[in-house]
């Protein structure tokens, strides 16, 4: 099932990148290369809920616009710090992460790092070590808005998908 | 219509370029490696994002699919940039860099033993550092 999903999305990506719609030889070669990529992924044992996260794809798309808005806001805050370095109050602190699966924690940690002004350095159980340019960013993260949204993206966690599982 | 599109496109490219410039200035002005990385992420996100958006307005989402490819570049950039930032900050911390703070106090949390649960990878690195790490300059 994961193999089929991966093949379909890889082939769609190939069609988008190549722009060939009619020549059967090229279409066949595209299908062959997508199949080869799926085979390699299977050999690497990457064909699981993490390698092919179809289950959360739609909720991820709903999450991105909010994340983009946050990125723009924190970009402006960091730009202000660059123009006036006296403003910065760097802090390093633990922030709770309520996600249950590895994938959910990666989404949260990557979101933290992607917004300028905060970097996720380490994940330890249910918490993330964050370095922040302005101390207030840590308090914002601890308020948990982004944490809740990432947990919602993660959705229901099946058995074998929890932290440390394979 | 074309004129409006041109203006929008160039506004995006110029503002994106301004954020890249700010990112470079920040890289110079910030006090330590971690704060410099915050400045660098300006160019990674809004800098690159606005420039690519401006280019999409130039290219259009026409039959040659250039716009789609540009957006794919942005998506992959946004996926990979945090991984590099995370790896760099963790490497700096494990190599003994102390985060700079405004009042000179040590940061409220670190990767020291006792502050985190057992971690084989970190333990390995500590052992490596304690042993002098053959071939290391320091």
Q: Average of pLDDT values for A145-159?
A: 83
Is a pLDDT exceeding 50 seen at residue B123?
Answer: yes
pLDDT, residue A125, reads: 77
> CB–CB of B99 and A92 under 8 A?
yes
Tokens of A157: 């966690």
CA-based angle A115:A120:A125, to the nearest 5?
135
Please give the residue of chain A at the shortest CA–CA distance from B69: A17
Q: What is the pLDDT of residues A88-133, one digit of tens each?
A: 888 888 898 888 888 888 899 999 999 988 999 888 878 888 999 8
Is a pLDDT exceeding 60 seen at residue B133?
Answer: no
* CA–CA distances in Å: residue A96 to residues A13, A102, A104, A130, B119: 36, 14, 13, 10, 18
What ipTM was assigned to the predicted interfaces of this complex? 0.81
User: What's the whole-model pTM score?
Assistant: 0.84
Tell the residue number behind the tokens 């044992």, with chain if given.
Answer: A45
Burial of B38 (0-12, 13-18, 19+ CB in 10 A): buried
> CB–CB of B117 and A109 under 8 A?
no
Let me know: does A99 contact A154? Beta carbons within 8 Å: yes
Is B94 near chain A, with CB under 8 Å?
no
pLDDT, residue A40, reads: 92
pLDDT, residue B25, reads: 92
Q: What is the pLDDT of residues B96-113, one digit of tens each?
A: 778 888 777 777 777 766
pLDDT, residue A156, reads: 76
pLDDT, residue A72, reads: 92
Return the percentage of chain A with pLDDT > 90, whole number: 27
pLDDT, residue B24, reads: 92
pLDDT, residue B138, reads: 45
pLDDT, residue A124, reads: 82
Query: In three state form, how does the secondary structure of chain B look?
Result: CHHHHHHHHHHHHHHHHHHHHHHHHHHHHCCCHHHHHHHHHHHHHHHHHHHHHHHHHHHCCCCCCHHHHHHHHHHHHHHHHHHHHHHHHHHHHHCCCCCCCCCCCCCCCCCCECCECCCHHHHHHHHHHHCCCCCCCC
> CB–CB of A82 and B39 under 8 A?
yes
Interface test with A, best of B109, B112, B118, B119 (most A CBs within 10 A): B109
Dihedral (Cα; A125, A127, A132, A138), 10-degree rounding: 180
> CB–CB of A83 and B35 under 8 A?
no
pLDDT, residue B53, reads: 92
Query: In three state form, how does the secondary structure of chain A look?
Result: CHHHHHHHHHHHHHHHHHCCCCCHHHHHHHHHHHHHHHHHHHHCCCCCCCCCCHHHHHHHHHHHHHHHHHHHHHHHHHHHHHHCHHHCECEEEEEECCCCEHHHHHHHHHHHHHCCCEEEEEEECCEEEEEECEHHHHHHHHHCHHHHHHHHHHCCCCCCCECCCC
pLDDT, residue B132, reads: 57
> CB–CB of B34 and A82 under 8 A?
no
Q: Average of pLDDT values for B43-58?
A: 91
Which pLDDT band holds residue A155 (cuts at 50, 70, 90)? Answer: confident
Q: Which of A73-82, A106-115, B64-73, B112-121 has the lowest mean pLDDT?
A: B112-121
> CB–CB of B38 and A120 under 8 A?
no
Q: CA of A25, closest CA in chain B: separation in Å?
A: 20
- Number of inter-chain CB pairs under 8 A, A vs B: 124
Dihedral (Cα; A68, B83, B76, A100), 10-degree rounding: -70
Tokens of B22: 């700010």
| Rounded Cα gap, residues A100 and A151, in angstroms | 8
Residue with the bigger pLDDT between A52 and A4: it is A4
Is B38 near chain A, with CB under 8 Å?
yes
Q: What residues 98-127 of chain B have any CB closer than 8 A to a CB of chain A?
A: 99-102, 107-111, 116-117, 119
Is A120 near chain B, with CB under 8 Å?
yes
Question: Given its phi and psi angles, is residue B112 left (phi above 0), alpha (psi -120 to 50 degrees) or beta?
Answer: beta
Q: CA of B1, closest CA in chain A: separation in Å?
A: 26
> CB–CB of B26 and A116 under 8 A?
no
| Rounded Cα gap, residues A141 and A17, in angstroms | 38
Which pLDDT band holds residue B137 (cuts at 50, 70, 90)? Answer: very low
| Rounded Cα gap, residues B32 and B21, in angstroms | 19
Please give the residue of chain B at the shortest CA–CA distance from A74: B42
Q: Which of B40-49, B63-72, B110-119, B128-137 has the lowest mean pLDDT?
A: B128-137
**Which of A124-128, B19-23, B66-70 has the highest average model confidence (pLDDT)?**
B19-23
Tell the residue number behind the tokens 């490696």, with chain if given.
Answer: B33
């Amino acid at each position: 099932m994961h193999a089929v999903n991966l093949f379909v999305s890889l082939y769609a990506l190939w069609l988008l990148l190549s722009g060939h719609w009619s020549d059967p030889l090229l279409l066949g070669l595209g299908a062959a290369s997508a199949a080869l990529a799926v085979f390699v992924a299977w050999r690497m044992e990457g064909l699981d809920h993490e390698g092919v996260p179809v289950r959360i794809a739609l909720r991820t798309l709903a999450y991105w616009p909010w994340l983009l808005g946050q990125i723009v806001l924190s970009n402006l805050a960091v730009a202000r710090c660059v123009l006036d370095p006296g403003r910065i109050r760097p802090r390093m602190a633990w922030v709770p992460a309520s996600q249950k699966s590895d994938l959910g924690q990666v989404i949260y940690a990557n979101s933290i790092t992607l917004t300028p002004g905060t970097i996720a350095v380490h994940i330890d159980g249910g918490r993330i070590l964050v370095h922040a340019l302005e101390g207030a960013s840590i308090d914002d993260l601890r308020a948990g808005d982004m944490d809740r949204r990432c947990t919602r993206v993660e959705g229901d966690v099946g058995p074998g998908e929890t932290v440390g599982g394979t | 219509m074309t004129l409006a599109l041109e203006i929008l496109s160039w506004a995006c490219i110029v503002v994106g370029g301004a954020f890249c410039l700010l990112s470079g200035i920040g890289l110079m002005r910030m006090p330590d490696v971690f704060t410099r990385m915050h400045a660098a992420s300006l160019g990674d996100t809004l800098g690159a994002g606005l420039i690519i958006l401006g280019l999409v307005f130039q290219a259009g989402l026409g039959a040659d699919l250039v716009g789609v490819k540009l957006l794919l570049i942005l998506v992959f950039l946004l996926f990979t940039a945090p991984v590099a930032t995370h790896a760099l900050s963790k490497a700096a911390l494990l190599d003994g860099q102390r985060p700079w703070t405004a009042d000179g106090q040590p940061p409220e949390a670190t990767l020291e033993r006792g502050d985190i649960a057992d971690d084989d990878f970190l333990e390995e690195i500590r052992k490596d550092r304690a042993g002098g790490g053959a071939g290391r300059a320091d």
